[in-house]
Amino acid sequence: MTVHVHLRANMRIVFLGTPDFAVPTLDALAREHEIALVVAQPDKPAGRGMKMQAPAVVVRARELGLSTAQPPKVRDEAFLGEIEKLQPDVGIVVAYGKILPQRLLDIPRRGFLNVHASVLPRWRGAAPIQRAIEAGDLTTGVTIMRVDAELDHGPMLAVETTEIGRDERTPSLSKRLAEIGGEALANVLREWPAEIEQEHDRATYAAKIDKQEGAIRWEQPAKQIYDRFRAFDPWPGLFTPELKLVDIKPGDGLGAPGTILRIDDGVTVATGDGAIRILTMQRPGKNRAPAGEVARAMSLRSGDRMP
């Protein structure tokens, strides 16, 4: 019996991506294909000194010896002309951060594929990982899809799923999904499976996170508060007007929402259903510290409302 294995020839790729999440996909593609150009968003100020910092994808591309571009606008005629000159077989976009114009989508011979961090059509949009955790989802995954004119709307070529741990936060889930996505896309480019239309009537949307969403609302159930904490780590976090809740977990006890039930090493606070135990807190301009220590420094006692 003879087994015929058909491997797709190396492809010429234009890669668009910006943050850490896109790096594993770049690595996976660079092992098997020609990366003609890596495109990322411009450098931005970061850190305490607000020094200009290159995106993670640019840093990795330079380590790999790849050509990079960081156009302020992807609709720029000169930039689009440069992409046309490269004559790419396929474009890949992973968390690039801007909507791609149709003219750019039309340049690669086989169009653009996207690595999206959810099982589509659930959680289309900017923050699929955070919204899945916030909603208390037990599973999520990665979808490899064709990019079309609408947001995360195109047909799917592959779906990989993974469980969300009960205490898992955005950074660890994001790292795992990034690795899964890189391998899933590499497999798609080897086989190029049939495309499957999404069930558009089941679509849900993952809106961009707003900083004010981190303002804690004690009237919510403890589980909902904890899920939001896991989702909004590291940004924007959970906070009150006077405190940042650096680390929390579900607690025990009942009381009026926002009432301090116990102060020991931590601080246990009543919610709309159940309680939250705060392990670490931080006051503005101060170092993070054990929550009980911070509470005593603020002269808080059991029975008080959280400030």
Angle (CA) 136-137-138 rounded to 5° is 115
The rounded mean pLDDT for the chain is 95
Is the per-residue pLDDT at 6 higher than 50?
A: no
Domain assignment of residue 307, yes or no: no
Q: How far apart are CA 17 and CA 55, in angstroms?
A: 9
Q: What are 182-201's pLDDT values in tens digits?
A: 999 999 999 999 999 999 99
Tell me, rounded to whole angstroms, the distance of Cα 240 from its chain centroid: 24
Do 67 and 184 reside in the same domain of the chain? Answer: yes
Note down the domain range covering 129. 12-206
- Structure confidence at residue 48 (pLDDT): 77
Domain assignment of residue 284, yes or no: yes
Do 192 and 218 reside in the same domain of the chain? Answer: no
Do 291 and 237 reside in the same domain of the chain? Answer: yes
Domain assignment of residue 247, yes or no: yes
For residues 4 and 74, which has the higher predicted lDDT (pLDDT)?
Answer: 74
> pTM here?
0.93
Domain count for the chain:
2
Tell me, rounded to whole angstroms, the distance of Cα 255 from its chain centroid: 35
Which of residues 206, 227, 248 is at a domain's end? Answer: 206
Q: What are 255-290's pLDDT values in tens digits?
A: 999 999 999 999 999 999 999 999 999 999 999 999
- Structure confidence at residue 149 (pLDDT): 87
Is the per-residue pLDDT at 2 higher than 50?
A: no
Q: State whether residue 84 is helix, strand or coil.
A: helix
Which of residues 171, 206, 241 is at a domain's end? Answer: 206
- pLDDT level of residue 8 (50, 70, 90 thresholds): low
Q: How far apart are CA 243 and CA 9, in angstroms?
A: 56
First to last CA, the chain: 75
What would the mean pLDDT of 41-66 be, rounded to a whole number?
Answer: 93
Do 197 and 221 reside in the same domain of the chain? Answer: no
Do 99 and 146 reside in the same domain of the chain? Answer: yes
Which of residues 152, 185, 206 is at a domain's end? Answer: 206
Chain position carrying tokens 């976090």: 237
Do 185 and 41 reside in the same domain of the chain? Answer: yes
Do 63 and 104 reside in the same domain of the chain? Answer: yes
Do 79 and 226 reside in the same domain of the chain? Answer: no
- pLDDT level of residue 46 (50, 70, 90 thresholds): confident
Angle between helices 170-191 and 23-30 (to 10 degrees): 30
Phi and psi torsions of 225, nearest 5°: -65, -45
Q: What are 59-71's pLDDT values in tens digits?
A: 999 999 999 999 9
What would the mean pLDDT of 1-5 be, rounded to a whole number?
Answer: 38
What would the mean pLDDT of 150-178 be, rounded to a whole number?
Answer: 97
Give the CATH number, domain containing residue 154.
3.40.50.170
Do 155 and 249 reside in the same domain of the chain? Answer: no
Joined together, the tokens standing for residue 19 give: 């943050």
DSSP code, position 99? P
Q: How far apart are CA 199 and CA 270, in angstroms?
A: 41
Q: What are 199-227's pLDDT values in tens digits?
A: 999 999 999 999 999 999 999 999 999 99
Burial code of 4-39, b = ≥16 C-beta within 10 A, e = fewer? eeeeeeebbbbbbbbbbbbbbbbbbbbeebebbbbb
Do 180 and 282 reside in the same domain of the chain? Answer: no
Domain assignment of residue 4, yes or no: no
- Structure confidence at residue 9 (pLDDT): 62
Is the per-residue pLDDT at 3 higher than 60?
A: no
Is the per-residue pLDDT at 1 higher than 80?
A: no
Is the per-residue pLDDT at 23 higher than 50?
A: yes
Domain assignment of residue 243, yes or no: yes
Is the per-residue pLDDT at 120 higher than 80?
A: yes
- Structure confidence at residue 4 (pLDDT): 36
- pLDDT level of residue 132 (50, 70, 90 thresholds): very high
